[in-house]
Amino acid sequence: MSSAVTDLGSTTSEATADSEDHAALPTRTIEAKGKAVGDAPILTVNQERLYEDSAWGQRAQRELGRKGGEIAEENDRIAAQLSAEEAQLTQKRAALAPAEFRKLAEAFDARATSIRRERAQMVQRLNAEAEADRAAFFQAALQVMGEVMQERGAVAVLDRRTVFVSLDAIDITTDLIERLNMRIGDGSRPDEASTPDAATQSDN
């Protein structure tokens, strides 16, 4: 009977966990010395830092932490309430017929399990919202990335985690963060986050 109660809190940490947990790869960056690097066909970006250090990513992380904290707090309250109800039911056991107690215990377990499932679904929805917001950020960032590529004569931007070694001069993460903060802000107002499609329509 108690398992449905004690498992309730197992979902609370998921809401505040990072949306993605990437294992670090042995990437290397070499400082460009001497003559400055001009146009480069390949550029690199630290995808995680691009999102997490941007105004958009920081706003999203604050919201995720706040909502996750609210879910965790409510989970703790519900778990305490169910534990108290379970204790009361256990105290009544001696005064109840076995069949009657079993009926009450089964009803309690079913309700506790249903509540646990609902709380887990809330965490899943929160994580899905975080993933969708992250995807929206990178979609909104495509146009700015394209502009930087054209300025530097590049044909591709690679995630630094997939590059074994590169010159630091071709990393555009810091430049992109500054531009994205100016162009799309923190993403709290969708009308300010210009996407490639929206930009194309406005130019026509």
pLDDT tens for each residue of the chain, 204 residues long: 544 454 554 444 444 444 444 455 555 666 656 545 567 899 999 999 999 999 999 999 999 999 999 999 999 999 999 999 999 999 999 899 999 999 999 999 999 999 999 999 999 999 999 999 999 999 999 999 999 999 989 999 999 888 888 888 889 999 999 999 999 999 887 655 554 444 444 344
Closest Cα partner for 196 from 133, 138, 131, 140?
Answer: 140
pLDDT at residue number 163: 86
Element (H, E) at 5: helix 3-6
Question: Does this model's pTM top 0.75?
Answer: no
Alpha carbons 145 and 119: distance in angstroms, whole number: 39
pLDDT of 131 reads 96
What helix, strand, coil percent values describe the chain, rounded to 5?
70, 5, 25
